[in-house]
Amino acid sequence: MTAYIGRRLLQMIPLMFGISLVLFALIQAAPGGPEGALLQGGRMVDARMLDAYRHRLGVDKPVPEQYVRWLGAALSGHLGVSYSSSQPVSKMILERLPATLELMGVSFLLAALAAIALGIFSAVKQYSAFDFLGTGFSFLGIAMPVFWFALILQMVFGVWLKWLPISGTHTVGATSFSDHMEHLVLPAAVLSLRYIAGWSRYLRSSLLGVLRADYVRTARAKGLPERVVVGVHAVRNALIPVVSVMALNLADLFSGAVITETVFAWPGIGRMFVQAMLARDYPLLMGILLLGSVMVLIFNLVADVVYAALDPRIRYD
Amino acid sequence: MTDEPRSPAAEIWRQLRRHKPAMVSLVVFLVIAAACLAAPVIAPYPFDAINLTGIRQAPSLHHLMGTDDLGRDLFTRVLYGGRISILIGILSAVLGTGLGTLVGALAGYYGGRIDSLLMRVTDVAYAIPALPLLIVLASYTQAGVGSMAVIIGLLSWMGTARVVRGEVLSLRSAVFVEAARALGASSGRIIGRHILPNAVGPIVVGATLAVGNAIIVESSLSFLGLGVQPPIPTWGNLLQDATSTMATNPWLTIFPGLAILVVVLAVNFLGDGLQDALDPTGRST
Amino acid sequence: MTGSRSGPDATRGPARPDDSPPAASDDGRPLLEVRDLVVRFDSDAGPIHAVNGVSWSLAPGGSMAVVGESGSGKTVGMLSLLGLLPNTGRVEGGEAVFEGRDLLRLSPAEMREVRGGKIAMVFQDPMTSLNPVLSVGYQLTEGLRRHRGLSRRQARARAAELLDLVGIPDPHARLDDYPHEMSGGQRQRVMIAMALSCDPSLLVADEPTTALDVTIQAQIVELVKRLRTELGMAIVWITHDLSVVAGLVDRVAVMYAGMLLEEAPVTALYAHPRHPYTIGLLRSMPTLDGPTHTRLPSIEGAPPDLRTRPTGCPFAPRCPWVVDPCRVERPSLEVVSGEHRSACRRWRELDALEAMEASP
Judged on CB neighbours under 10 Å (0-12, 13-18, 19+), B77 is buried
* Tens of pLDDT, residues C89-142: 999 989 999 988 999 999 999 999 999 889 999 998 888 999 999 999 999 999
Domains of chain A: 2-75 (no CATH), 89-310 (1.10.3720.10)
Judged on CB neighbours under 10 Å (0-12, 13-18, 19+), C358 is exposed
Q: Mean pLDDT, to the nearest integer, of A280-284? A: 81
How close does chain A come to C319, measured CA to CA in Å? Answer: 35
Q: Per-residue confidence at C209, pLDDT binned at 50, 70, 90?
A: confident
- Per-residue pLDDT, B273: 83
Q: What is the DSSP letter of A88?
A: B
Residue A46 forms contact with C (CB below 8 Å): no
* Tens of pLDDT, residues B124-153: 888 888 888 888 888 887 778 888 899 899
Tell me how far apart the alpha carbons of residues B29 and C124 are, in angstroms, rounded to a whole number. Answer: 49
CA distances from B57 to B51, B67, B68 (A): 11, 5, 7
Question: At CB < 8 A and 24+ separation, what contacts does B226-229 make?
Answer: B226/A277, B226/B135, B226/B138, B226/B139, B226/B143, B227/B138, B227/B143, B227/B148, B228/B84, B228/B88, B228/B143, B228/B144, B228/B145, B228/B148, B229/B143
B123 inside domain: yes
Evaluate if residue C339 carries a pLDDT over 90: no
Which residues have a Cβ under 8 Å from the Cβ of C317 and sit 6 or more positions away? C301, C304
Residue A312 forms contact with C (CB below 8 Å): yes
Ranges assigned E (strand) in C257-337:
259-265, 334-337
Q: DSSP alpha helices (H): ranges in C16-170?
A: 74-81, 108-114, 126-129, 136-147, 152-165
Q: Contacts of residue A236 in chain C, CB cutoff 8 Å?
A: 133-134
* Tens of pLDDT, residues C3-28: 444 444 444 444 444 443 343 445 67
- Parallel/antiparallel/unpaired status of strands C119-122 and C251-256: unpaired
Cβ atoms of C177 and C139 within 8 Å: the answer is no
Cβ atoms of B134 and B217 within 8 Å: the answer is yes
C39 inside domain: yes
Q: Contacts of residue B243 in chain A, CB cutoff 8 Å?
A: 151
B255 inside domain: yes
Evaluate if residue A234 carries a pLDDT over 50: yes
Q: Mean pLDDT, to the nearest integer, of C284-289? A: 68
Which one has a higher pLDDT value, C46 or C37? C37
Tell me how far apart the alpha carbons of residues B156 and A255 are, in angstroms, rounded to a whole number. Answer: 14
B45 inside domain: no
Tell me how far apart the alpha carbons of residues C207 and C107 are, in angstroms, rounded to a whole number. Answer: 28
Q: How many domains does chain B have?
A: 1
Helix axes B235-242, B74-110, angle to 10 degrees: 130
- Per-residue pLDDT, A315: 58
Which one has a higher pLDDT value, C237 or B59? C237
CATH code for the domain in which residue C25 is found: 3.40.50.300
Average pLDDT, chain A: 84
SS3 C61: coil
Question: Containing H/E element for A157?
Answer: none
Q: Contacts of residue B140 in chain A, CB cutoff 8 Å?
A: 29-31
Q: Which chains touch B (3 or more CB pairs under 8 A)?
A: A
Tell me how far apart the alpha carbons of residues B122 and B114 are, in angstroms, rounded to a whole number. Answer: 12
φ, ψ of residue B58 to 5 degrees: the values are: -70, 160
Ranges assigned E (strand) in chain C:
32-41, 48-58, 63-67, 89-98, 101-102, 119-122, 202-206, 234-239, 251-256, 259-265, 334-337, 340-342
* Max Cα-Cα span within chain B: 76
B17 inside domain: yes
For chain A, the residue count is 317
Q: Mean pLDDT, to the nearest integer, of B240-262? A: 82
Cβ atoms of B260 and A148 within 8 Å: the answer is yes
Tell me how far apart the alpha carbons of residues A312 and C259 are, in angstroms, rounded to a whole number. Answer: 44
SS3 A173: coil
The residue among C114, C133, C162 with the most chain A CBs within 10 A of its CB, best to mutate, is C133
Average pLDDT, chain C: 84
Evaluate if residue A77 carries a pLDDT over 90: no
Cβ atoms of C129 and C207 within 8 Å: the answer is no
Does ipTM surpass 0.95 in this model? Answer: no
SS3 C256: strand
Q: How many domains does chain C have?
A: 1
The number of C-beta contacts closer than 8 angstroms across A and B is 130
The mean-pLDDT minimum among A288-292, B167-171, B174-178 falls in B174-178
How close does chain A come to B156, measured CA to CA in Å? Answer: 13
Judged on CB neighbours under 10 Å (0-12, 13-18, 19+), C131 is buried
CATH code for the domain in which residue B246 is found: 1.10.3720.10
Cβ–Cβ of C115/A220 closer than 8 Å? yes
B47 inside domain: no
Question: At CB < 8 A and 24+ separation, what contacts does C46-49 make?
Answer: C46/C307, C47/C307, C48/C306, C48/C307, C49/C257, C49/C258, C49/C306, C49/C307, C49/C308, C49/C309
Q: Which structural domain, as residue segments, surrounds residue C94?
A: 1-6+19-106+233-289+297-360
Which one has a higher pLDDT value, C2 or A126? A126
Residue C84 forms contact with A (CB below 8 Å): yes
Tell me how far apart the alpha carbons of residues B90 and A44 are, in angstroms, rounded to a whole number. Answer: 44
Name C251's bridge partners.
C64, C265
Q: Which structural domain, as residue segments, surrounds residue B82?
A: 13-39+76-280
* Tens of pLDDT, residues A247-275: 778 777 888 889 999 989 899 999 999 98
How close does chain A come to B284, measured CA to CA in Å? Answer: 19
Tell me how far apart the alpha carbons of residues C184 and A218 are, in angstroms, rounded to a whole number. Answer: 16
Calculate what percentage of chain A has a pLDDT beyond 70.
Answer: 91
Tell me how far apart the alpha carbons of residues C1 and B143 are, in angstroms, rounded to a whole number. Answer: 71
C228 inside domain: no
C319 inside domain: yes
- Per-residue pLDDT, B82: 87
B3 inside domain: no
**Is it true that the peptide bond before C108 is cis, omega within 30 degrees of 0?**
no
Q: Is the dihedral of CA A210, A215, A219, A221 positive or negative?
A: positive
